[in-house]
Chains A and B, each alone.
Chain A
Amino acid sequence: MSDDAKQPGLVPAFDVMIAADERIEPRDEMPDGYRKTLIRQIAQHAHSEIIGMQPEGNWITRAPSLKRKAILMAKVQDEAGHGLYLYGAAETLGVDRADLLDLLHTRRQKYSSIFNYPTISWADMGTIGWLVDGAAITNQVPLCRCSYGPYARAMIRICKEESFHQRQGFDILLTLSNGTPEQHEMAQESVNRWWWPALMMFGPPDAASPNSAQSMAWGIKRFSNDELRQKFVDMTVPQAAVLGLTLPDPELRFNDATGHYDFGPIDWTEFDRVVQGHGPCNDQRLAHRVRAHEEGAWVREAANAYARKHARPKITGEAVA
């Protein structure tokens, strides 16, 4: 390690690579702040994936057909996989997954607030896929070009799979919207509840997002919160028309001058309340997560005990050379 690198925040080789838009890899020297920001962001992203299994898991036993049930199970399994890719990416920065889970379980790290809202109708499975996964994709596509290699690579896998998630959600809503009047109403009611929380997924407005500038300078973030939110609105409004559903915002209209849709003000006090732990399901989600982890402890202990007993690694296939 060079002397320069020992001064916090000053890593010339890192600055040169960022300036050249090169990827940073795990064993490269990097500023402490970069490492800490990434660990926090990737961990919270991973936590969101595994907590995000709960609102949908809620409907697996009540899916309206075997086809819908099989699809929903595959989607929830994907969310678990996404969590694992991301915990793996975080671990390349020198943290341990078990410690990150502890931080989640003890409320010292957060997950996306969107998962603190309840899923009270089958239509919510459609709306989550269409709006929540749609917003997530809008956020995540630029992360495929994030400056940290392992995070970017995980995001490429995730984005490919999310595109199935969004389409299956759209398919559920399209079917409901074109169904009986009751089914159409169920779809509309669900979209009405999720629209604003989905817009909040992009985070506070740029003026109130003090860390964004540093993340952009480090190449972690490529677009600002407001830019991504606008992109999402512009993509989603025409899709709502195809669904035959409306979006619950009387101020939503196309602005010929800007070429974008204008939309009404977001209730940031609600956002803050949910982030601070007072959303409808914060306690339920975390309690369920901790219970699942504790109830699975014996399985992990048994697997490790078995592995210790059979200490030589067993190779099931033929030796590779």
Chain B
Amino acid sequence: MSESATDTADRAMLWEVFVRGRRGLSHVHAGSLHAADAEMALRNARDVYTRRGEGVSIWVVPSVQIFASTPDEKDPFFDPNADKVYRHPTFYNLPEEVRQM
């Protein structure tokens, strides 16, 4: 049994990586990686996720810092939106004379 792998001093933090593909686009989640600190996470992210020019900017965030809603789309968290169809433009009937709006 390799002892080094189970040594807690050996285990680096988990980070989530977000990459901006090109100027004008948002950063998008690309994956995760391990690194001891933010600088190392950025370097590793460059090597792991942008070997072919996939990005012009990278964000790294400690995974433990991300707070998430539950993923189930039927979750009550999203219920308040379900009955507000009037938020969508298609809710409104326009008179025929209005060609474009």
Contact = CB atoms under 8 A, between A and B. Distances in A.
Interface of A: 13, 25-28, 74, 77-78, 81, 84-85, 88-89, 91-92, 96-99, 101-102, 105-106, 153-154, 161, 290, 293-294, 297, 300-301, 303-307, 310, 313-317, 320
B4 to A, nearest CB: 4
Majority DSSP secondary structure for residues of B touching A: mixed
Contact of A105 (B2, B47, B70, B71): B2
A84 B2 CA distance: 20
Contacts of A101: 2, 5
A314 B38 contact: yes
Contacts of B40: 303, 307
B39 A102 contact: no
Given A102-B6, A307-B37, A81 B47 contact: yes
A24 to B, nearest CB: 9
Interface of B: 1-2, 4-7, 9-14, 31-40, 42, 47-48, 51-52, 57, 59, 62, 68, 70-72
B5 A105 contact: yes
B34 to A, nearest CB: 7
Given A25-B71, A91-B32, A313 B2 contact: no
A89 B31 CA distance: 8
A106 B47 CA distance: 29
A27 B68 contact: yes
A97 B34 contact: yes
B36 A316 contact: no
Nearest to B16: A88
B37 A85 contact: no
A259 B35 CA distance: 51
A98 B8 CA distance: 10
